Amino acid sequence: MTKIIPERSDVPAEHRWNLASLFSTDSEWEKELVVFNTMIHDAEKGKISLGTDRQAFLKTLKDFEQYLILEERLGYYADLRVTENEGDSVARGMFERYVNLSTQGQAAWSWLSPAIQMLDDNFIDSCLKDSSFEDYRVFLSKLRRFKPHVLSDAEERLLALQSEPAQTPKDAFSVLTNVDFDFGTIETPEGPKPLTQSTFAYFMRLPDRSVRRKAYLQFYASFEAHRHTLATLYAGSVKLDKYIAKVRKYPSARAMALFPDNVPEAVYDNLVSTVNRNIPALHRYYALRKEVLGLDSLRHYDVYVPLVKEIKIERSYEQAVDIVIEALKPLGEEYVNTLRGGLLGGWVDRYENKGKRSGAFSAGSFLGNPYILMNYKDDVLDDLFTIAHEGGHSMHSWYSARNNPFMCYGYTIFEAEVASTFNEQLVFSYLYENSKDEREKAYLLANRIDNTLGTLFRQTMFAEFEERVHEIAESGEAITVDVLRKEYRGLLEKYFGPEMVFENVSDLEGLRIPHFYNAFYVYKYATGLSAGIALSEGVLKGREKERDAYLNFLRSGGSRFPIESLELAGVDMSTPEPIEAACKRFAKDVEALSAILKAK
C-alpha cells in the first residue's frame, strides 16, 4: 500500500511543533521585523560616545545584545517556518526579507568590533572588573583575542558587505548539483525510480549489486561531465579562504578556522595521525564486508549495503520516546523529565508532510524552545537514534540558555556533537543489553560500526583532504581538477585499503561534498564522537561524579573555550587518548560483529 503523504494543513496539531515560544503568529513576527529594522538604523548611535565612560559603553553593549537576541528570534522562526513546507511562498518570503535585513544589520554593526579593539587596555580592564559588565565579561575577553586580526572600521564594513556574494561558490555548487543536474532514472525490480542527490544513498543500500553499480556509474557520470566547473567552484572557495586569512593576518586558513574556538592546530594533527595509526582496523572491516557479501572484489558501491538485514520493529513515536527516556535515565530526573516534556509537548515536528525539509535537526535559541525537526517512521530503528541524537542537542541548548547570559550562551560545533553522540551511546547500550536476539544485536553492532566509520574515519579523511588542498593553494600551486582528483584518490586508497577496487570516476566523490565549502569544520564531528564515547562510559557505569561533570559541561554553554569545558567534563581533547579509545572501540565492534556473523 502506498503511503499517503499529508498536506501540512492536515497534520494534527499535536504532531507539529508549537513555535509560540518564538512568536505566536506570523503577524507578531512581522511587527518585530519592523522593530528590527529600526534597530539597524540606530546601530551607529553608540559610536559617538564609545569609550568615553563605562556607562556609555555598557549601554552600547546592551543595545547590541538586544539587537542580536531579536535577530536570532526572527531568524529561527522564519527558517523553521520554511522547513515546514519549502514550497510555502509566504514563509520563504519572510525568510528572504529577514536575510536581507540581517545582512544590512551585519554591515551596520560592523564598526563595533574594531572600535572595541581600539579601546585602551586599561579601560577594558576596568570594565571587566565592574560587576555591571558581568554578562559581557566572556564576550569581551574572547573578542579581545581577535585584536591582531580585526581591521579598520571601513575595512570591516567592506568585508561585512561582501559576506553575501562570498557565498557564490557554495550557492552555485548547490544549485548545479541539486537543481541543474539530471541524473535520470534507474530500473529496479519495482520499476524505474528517479536517481537524485537524495535517492543516491537509497540505491547504494539496495541488495541488487547490478542496480547499485548502474546507479553509481550513472550518478558520477554527471559529475564527470561537469568536473571542470565543479573543480573551479571549489578552488574559488579555497582561494577565498586563503584571501580572508591573509587579509586578517592569520598564518593559514586552517589557523583562522581554529582560532575562534581556541583549538590548537595540534588537536587537528592528533586526530589525523591517530586515525591513520588505526586504519588497519578499518581495513579489517572492509575485508569482513567483502567476505560476508561473498564478493570476489569489493567495489565502492558495495560499502553501504547493510551487512545485517534491517530489523523491522514497529514502534510508534511515543514508544520510541519511552525507550530513549529509559536509556537516558543515568542522567537524572531533571534531564529526562525535561526532555520527555519537550519531545511530547511541542518541541518536535514529528512526521513527514508534503514539502517538508528532509532529514532531522535541532534548532536551539536563547528565548525559544529548542525545536526538533523529524521525519519519524515507525519501522526505522535509525529514527529512534535520531530522537536521542537531536534530543541531545536540544538539551544542550536548554541547559546553556538557562545558565548563561545571551552573549556567551552559544556553544560551538566542537562541543555540540558531544551531546548528541553521548545520547546515542546510552541508547545503544540500553538496546544491546536488553536484546535477547543475536540478529538484533548484530544489526545494532553493524549500525554502530557504520556510524563510527562515517563520523570518525570518513570525516577525518575529509579533514585530510581539506588540509592538503588548502596547503596547495597557500603554496601558490594551481588547484586543477586533476590535482583535486589525485589528492582524493590517494586518500581513498589509504582509507579503504587493499580490498577495494575503485572505478575511474570514484575520485570524483571529492567534488560532491558540500561540507568542503565551509572549510575545516568536519573534523569536529570526529572529535565530538570521540569525546561523547569517552564521557558516556563513566556515566554508563553509574558514577555520580562523571554524571555531574557532564551536566556541568552542558550548562557551561559558550562560557569557556571547548577544550577547557570538555577537560572539566573529564576528557582532554588536546591529547590523542580519546581518539585512540574511539578507534579501539571500533576495532572491538568489528571483531564482535565478525564473531556473531561467522557463528551463524
Q: Specify the residue for cell string 564473531.
A: 595
Cα separation, 468 vs 452, in Å, equals 23
Among the listed residues 390, 417, 467, 499, the single catalytic one is: 390
Residue 600 is given by DSSP the state: -
**Which residues, at least 6 apart from 391, have a Cβ–Cβ distance to it below 8 Å?**
324, 328, 339, 342, 343, 362, 372, 423
The length of the chain is: 600
Cα separation, 280 vs 374, in Å, equals 36
Cα separation, 423 vs 396, in Å, equals 11
Q: Is 44 a catalytic residue?
A: no
The type of residue at 3 is K
Comparing C-alpha atoms, which of 414, 413, 448 is closest to residue 431?
Answer: 448
CB 464 within 8 A of CB 490: no
181-187 long-range contacts, CB within 8 A, separation 24+: 181/222, 181/226, 182/222, 183/218, 183/219, 183/222, 184/218, 186/211, 186/214, 186/215, 186/218, 187/211, 187/214
Q: Specify the residue for cell string 593576518.
A: 249
User: What backbone torsions phi and psi does residue 443 show, to the nearest 5 degrees?
Assistant: -65, -45
Reading the block at residue 13, the C-alpha cell is 496539531
Cα separation, 251 vs 266, in Å, equals 15
The dihedral built from the CA positions of residue 283, 286, 291 and 296, taken in this order, carries a sign that is negative
Quick count: other Cβ atoms within 10 Å of Cβ 143? 17
* CA-angle at 301, arms to 298 and 306, nearest 5°: 85
Query: What are the residue numbers of the active site?
Result: 390
